[in-house]
């Protein structure tokens, strides 16, 4: 098991077991963004937790070698963050992402490239927005027999709103691909959120696409909100406890 802790855009703690390699490229005057390059060579779990008290930017590149599986668990507790993920998933490789986001303001891109047959990308995210969240997910099916799933659950408070965009692209002549998109947002304020789903496909007969979106507005109890967020993702022990603690603090704030 591997673990990385990031404060703002700097790694403060790390524990790596050799199943993956990490390279950090610090920002320069020409590209003022710190970049984390992660290469997965064996089946593994990576836990990442982000804390931030100031505006920060981060670029993360994840390369998963053939027939390997990465289980990525993340918790974001941040004030203002801009982050981009790029996943390169080789033949027979799988990426399983579970993420809880509790940020005031965020702009985020998750861009996945399914570059080999039987590559898979599964992404479950729950988010709490007190400010503006721009959330973009883009999946390229560059090979046949590939699968992708994105399921999002979000809640807005105070001046928060969520702009969610989910896009899937199946390249020409790619067959037997499966795309699933599922987005749902609950507004506890008068701000307007939005969900957009997009896909491009060529093989009408063999490409399967499932899409579901829902926007709700109204006064939900804190127990209903807890269930809505936590039913979407279940972390392994330790991270689950951290998430539950943050939800408890949210409930205290919500009740007051």
Higher pLDDT, 202 or 4: 4
| CA separation, residue 51 to residues 56, 61, 83, 140 (Å) | 10, 19, 13, 30
Question: What would the pLDDT profile of 25-67 be if each residue is shown by its tens digit?
Answer: 876 544 567 899 999 999 999 999 999 888 888 999 999 999 9
State the Cα–Cα distance between residues 25 and 216, nearest whole angstrom. 41
For tokens 């599986």, the residue is 69
Domain residue ranges in the chain: 2-255
State the Cα–Cα distance between residues 177 and 210, nearest whole angstrom. 12
Question: What would the pLDDT profile of 78-127 be if each residue is shown by its tens digit?
Answer: 889 999 999 999 999 999 999 999 888 999 999 999 999 999 999 999 99
Q: pTM of the predicted model, to two decimals? A: 0.92
């Amino acid at each position: 098991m591997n673990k990385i802790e990031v404060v703002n855009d700097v790694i403060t703690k790390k524990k790596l077991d050799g199943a993956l390699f990490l390279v950090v490229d610090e920002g320069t005057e020409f590209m003022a963004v710190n970049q984390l390059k992660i290469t997965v060579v064996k089946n593994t779990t990576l836990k990442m937790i982000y804390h931030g008290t100031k505006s920060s930017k981060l670029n993360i590149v994840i390369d998963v070698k053939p027939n390997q599986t990465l289980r990525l668990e993340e918790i974001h507790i941040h004030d203002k963050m801009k982050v981009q993920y790029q996943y390169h998933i080789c033949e027979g490789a799988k990426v399983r992402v579970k993420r809880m986001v509790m940020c005031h303001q965020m702009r985020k891109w998750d861009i996945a490239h399914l570059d080999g047959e039987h590559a898979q990308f599964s992404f479950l995210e729950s988010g709490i927005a007190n400010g503006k969240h721009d959330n973009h997910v883009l999946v390229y099916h560059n090979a046949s027999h590939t699968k992708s799933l994105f399921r999002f659950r979000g809640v807005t408070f105070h001046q928060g709103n969520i702009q969610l965009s989910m896009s899937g692209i199946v390249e020409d002549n790619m067959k037997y691909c499966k795309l699933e998109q599922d987005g749902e947002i609950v507004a506890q304020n008068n701000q307007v959120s939005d969900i957009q789903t997009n896909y491009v496909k060529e093989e009408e007969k063999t490409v399967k696409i499932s899409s579901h979106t829902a926007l709700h507005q109204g006064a939900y109890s804190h127990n209903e909100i807890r269930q809505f967020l936590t039913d979407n993702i279940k972390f392994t022990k330790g991270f689950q406890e951290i998430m539950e603690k943050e939800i408890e603090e949210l409930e205290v704030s919500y009740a007051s």
